[in-house]
Structure formats: structure tokens, C-alpha cells
A and B are shown apart, each in its own frame.
Chain A
Amino acid sequence: MSGSEVISRLKRDYIYNLMLKGEREDGRQFDELRDIALETGIIDKAEGSAMVQYGDTQVMVGVKMQIGTPFPDSPAEGVIITSMELNPIASPDFEAGPPREKAIEMARIVDRGIRESGAIDINKLCITEGEEVWMVFIDVHVLNNSGNILDAASLGAIAALMTTTVPSEREGKGEDYPLPVREMPVGISLVKIGDEMLLDPTYGEESVCETRITISSNQDGSICSMQKSGSGSLSPAQVVKASKIAKEKGEIIREKYLLEI
């Protein structure tokens, strides 16, 4: 899944054989997360921001808001635009240039988690129906890819949104107010190895496993978005199992990190 980079057979075999024995290279259980760190409000120039670490993986998310025109088919709704760049600073495999399919897919997965959960009340982002609405730009900046940048990006996005202030004053639209966030979706990814699923894969594990599933769940445990990615397949039972893990782990992350904000 890490692209075209060749990885040495011994390294591959090592990771693979470990997983067959129920072990992982960093000693974690299959359903164990790496240590997570989250910090918000780090970029004063952004309306909201967050820095997330999943082990050595580091992702920064910034939220900017601007006034724009609504889409004709939703004249009273604000607009959410999520971008993600796999900058070459983050990995020797990332190349400079416009986002390719992998980056675009990930940006859309993050976007769907936010959008479909209804985390942002887009009706409240209308200034003048049909003319002026707030546009919310969520920019994901990957700084170091040590695996599972997707979940780090999802957590960063919702955390940044929760700390976002709508800059009304700057735009001459009255007083600033906190962005109305009413849901806290958490995205959880697993990769498949044989019949087993690994939570929060490292870079090495991603390169050995061909299939990933990402599931975003809400506070009430309902699922708001999913994506299967990669060249392998999943059984329906695996999808169900993954959804249970996603719900359980999503709850832990929400309680430990998001409710703290």
C-alpha cells in the first residue's frame, strides 16, 4: 500500500511472520493504538489548528475560513473543503507536485467523516442566503509518515474544527464566535493480514498489507463513513468486526482527547 517502493524480502517476511504469530514489530497487540499526542491552537494565523502524533507519525491540520458564494443547489449552506498534501518532507517516497490519487482519496475520507457526521452545522454558516456563506478550508499537512496518517489526519481535522473561531470581525460581519461543532467523528483504520486485522498500522505494516478499511463513528456509536482501500478483499464478517473495533477505539480517543478540548 505504500506505493511502488521495493522492500527487502527479509524485512517483509519478518513483519509478516510476526503478524502470523500474533505479534507486531513494536510489541503492540493487534488492537492496540500507538501513543497519541494532540495539541490544539498552535497556529495563530489559522482560525483553528491541531498537531497530532500517532507514535512517530506527525500531522498538522489548519482551518481557514473565508466568505464565498454558496453552491446553487444549497444556497443556505456553508461550504467545507478538505485538502491533503503528501509533502515530500514527510517521507522519502512522497514526491513534490499536485496531489495524486492516494492523497485525494485520503482527503476525501477525512472530509466524509466530518461532513457525514454532521459535525459542522452548515446551516449556521449562511450569512445571506444565495449570496454569502462561510467557507471552511480544512488543510491537512503531513509532516512525518510513520504509518496511518489517515487516522492522525481525521483526529487533527475534528480537533482543529473544535478550536476554530469564525472570524466575523475581520470580515465585518459582527462578532467572532466559535464554529458550531455538534459531533465528534473519529476515524479508525485497520489493515488486513490473513484473517486478522491490525489497528493503527505502522509504515512497515502498511507496506506488507494490501487492504485497509477506515471507519468513522459518532458519539452514539453509529457509523458515518467507511472506505475500503487497497488491492485485497475483505469478508463481510471482517467488516463487521472492524466496525466494532472502530466504535470501541473511537470512543476511547474521543474521551481521552476530544472531550478534553
Chain B
Amino acid sequence: MSDKPERFIDDEGLRLDGRRVDEIRPMKVEMGVLSRADGSCYLEWGNNKVLAAVYGPRELHPRRMQKPNEVLVRYKYNMASFSVEDRIRPGPSRRSTEISKVSGEAFEPVVMTQYYPGAVIDVFAEVLQADAGTRTAAINAATLALADAGIPMKGLVSACAVGKVDGQLVLDLNKPEDNYGQADLPVAMTQDGEITLLQMDGHLTPEELEEGLEMVKKGCQQILEIQREVLVSRYGNEDEEGEEAEEESPEEVPDSEEEEEERDDSFDNEESEAENADENDVTEEDEGEEDERQ
């Protein structure tokens, strides 16, 4: 891999790894792999292997970092020292610090930050094996880890890169394309196609940029579809489950009625009348809160 290939795309329009120009590498995803984390996801994309975990929302120290009216999303991208050809020193580098910053910002537009004022949501993205496109792979895993942790979001974030080799735009660069290509443009997008992360290096004409953004949007849509598939199929077939559980479904909904009952039951004995009077207030309040949350 150390030598630059003569051509990146053959006469049939196929790339070195056999993909078409607008095709992404195979992706494999598994959620909930770490027991200590609040949410986690392991993702393989081509030869990339990344692991994302979410802790929180949790208390933020030191206090001066707290945002009074919203939650802080803190993202740490880290590469395992054995994840690349030449061992890298453990600990943050200037590169990983920058990636951490822009990746965290990629989630700010979708995370409902007003829900947990003053707290922090920590996202840790570990690159276990790197093979071009680790930051986008990490973002794709982190989205699912956030969903797994029960973090309220307006939608998922999907990320993919577009680049240029042999003067031609290609989706989701592989290692040689990344190393010797003429441009690399990693992008993260919401489901509405809003760009939440964008970096670029190399050389693109304005026309290529426009076309590249169109291409990367399609890439992100493909990834979004994979993410949806993983989420929905995780607990088995949705339809069956829906039907089966239907009869008892009211019990799932945490409405205020049930909360009252628990109070009754928990405290058995004494003065249940006074308690009941009390609880009616609770009911109203709870519903008030429900409305606010909409």
C-alpha cells in the first residue's frame, strides 16, 4: 500500500477495492456491547473498527464548565496505539483534539440540549483499527450509542466522505485513495440533509464541490438507512412484538395514575386517604409537565 497506484479507477469504472465510484464500503454494526456505559456501539466499516460509548447525562466537574441552561456534549476521539501501521503514542494529539471538537459539534444541532441543564453527555469514540475515514465511522457509531443511551435527539447523524482520484469524484475513500487522492471531504448530516460537520483538504473546483456534496448526501442517506435498520431490528421483528404486547400496552406508558399507585402500595398502611388527596395534585402537575415536553 506504500506505493501510489498508477490508476485508481479501471476502464470498467471500478475502484481498487472493486467498488463503483458512488458505493460505500460494507458496514457491520452491533449495539449495546459495553455493560458499564449508558450506551455503546461497535462499528466496522471496510477495515475500520471503531467503538463508541456514551456516559451520561451526568454531573459535570469542574462547575465552571457547566452551561446553565443546557447540557454539554463532550466528544473524545481517540486512536488505540496499535490501530495504525506505525504505533502511535497513547494520549491526545493535535489531530485527535481537533477531530474531537468538530465531531462533538456535529451532534449539537440534534441533541435536545435543554433537557439536562448543567449536565454533561460524554461520548467516547475509540478507533481500534484505522483504515481511512475513522472520524466518519466514529460519528456513525456515536449516533447509535447516543440513541442506545436514551438521549433525546431530533434525529440521527450520518457521516461519510467524498473525495477525488484520477480527476473523478468517489464516495467513501479507501486507504490508497485517502493517501494519494486529490481531495478529501468528510461530511456529517442530519436526516434533513443539514451539514453538521464539514472538513476538506486537497483541490476541488466549485462544480466538483457541488457535485461532491450531492454525492455525499446520497452516501449519508445509505448510512442512515443502515442505522435505522440496526435500531429497528435490534429487538426482533417489530410487527410481531407490537401485536403480542398490545393487550397489556397501557402498563408501559408512564402516566401519572401508575405513579400514584406505587405510592399507595409502597407505603401500605397508614392514612391512605390523605395520600390520595395529595396525589391528585401530582396528577395535574405531571400532565402539565407532559405538555411542556412536547
Contacts and interface: CB of A to CB of B under 8 A. Distances in A.
Contact of B82 (A56, A63, A98): A63
Contacts of B129: 43-45
18 contacts: A42-B49, A43-B49, A43-B82, A44-B47, A45-B131, A56-B35, A62-B80, A64-B86, A66-B86, A85-B90, A87-B124, A88-B122, A89-B53, A99-B90, A139-B87, A144-B34, A146-B35, A203-B36
> Which 8 A-B pairs give the minimum distances between C-beta atoms?
A62-B82, A64-B87, A46-B82, A89-B124, A56-B35, A139-B81, A144-B34, A89-B53
A194 interface: no
Given A56-B35, A87-B78, A92-B55, A66 B87 contact: yes
A44 B78 CA distance: 18
Given A83-B90, A89-B53, A49 B82 contact: yes
B126 A145 contact: no
Contacts of A88: 55, 76, 122, 124
Interface in B19-38: 33-37
B220 interface: no
Contacts of B86: 64, 66
A62 B34 CA distance: 19
Nearest to A135: B87
Contact of A143 (B87, B90, B122, B126): B126
Give chain B's interface secondary structure class: loop
Nearest to B131: A45
Nearest to A95: B61
A146 B128 contact: no
B90 A139 contact: yes
Interface string A95-123: 01011000000000000000000000000
A88 B38 CA distance: 12
B34 A141 contact: no
Contacts, number: 85
Interface string A119-163: 000000000000000000101010111100000000000000000
Interface in A65-108: 66, 83, 85, 87-92, 96, 98-99
B58 interface: yes
B85 to A, nearest CB: 6
B126 A87 contact: yes
* Chain A interface residue bracket vs B: 20 to 34
Interface of A: 42-46, 49, 56, 58, 60, 62-64, 66, 83, 85, 87-92, 96, 98-99, 137, 139, 141, 143-146, 203
Interface in B85-124: 85-87, 90-91, 122, 124
Contacts of A49: 82
A89 B126 contact: yes
A89 B128 CA distance: 13
Contacts of A60: 80, 128
B66 interface: no
B84 interface: yes
B51 interface: yes
Contacts of A203: 36
B36 A144 contact: yes
B35 to A, nearest CB: 4
Nearest to A138: B82
A195 to B, nearest CB: 31
A218 to B, nearest CB: 26
Given A44-B47, A98-B91, A143-B51, A64 B36 contact: no
B130 interface: yes
A58 B34 contact: yes
Nearest to B88: A64
A137 B86 CA distance: 11
Contacts of B82: 43, 45-46, 49, 62-64, 137, 139, 141
A145 B36 CA distance: 7
A56 to B, nearest CB: 4
B174 to A, nearest CB: 14
Question: Which of A45, A88, A89, A90 has most chain B Cβ within 10 Å?
Answer: A89
Interface in B261-288: none
A45 B36 contact: no
Given A44-B129, A45-B129, A66-B87, A141 B55 contact: no
A89 B129 CA distance: 16
Contacts of A144: 34-37
A85 B129 CA distance: 17
A42 B33 CA distance: 16
Contact of A137 (B33, B55, B87, B126): B87
Nearest to B34: A144
A85 B79 CA distance: 12
A209 B85 CA distance: 41
Contacts of A44: 47, 129
B182 interface: no
Contacts of A85: 90
Contacts of B36: 56, 90-92, 144-146, 203
Given A89-B51, A91-B36, A92-B36, A137 B81 contact: yes
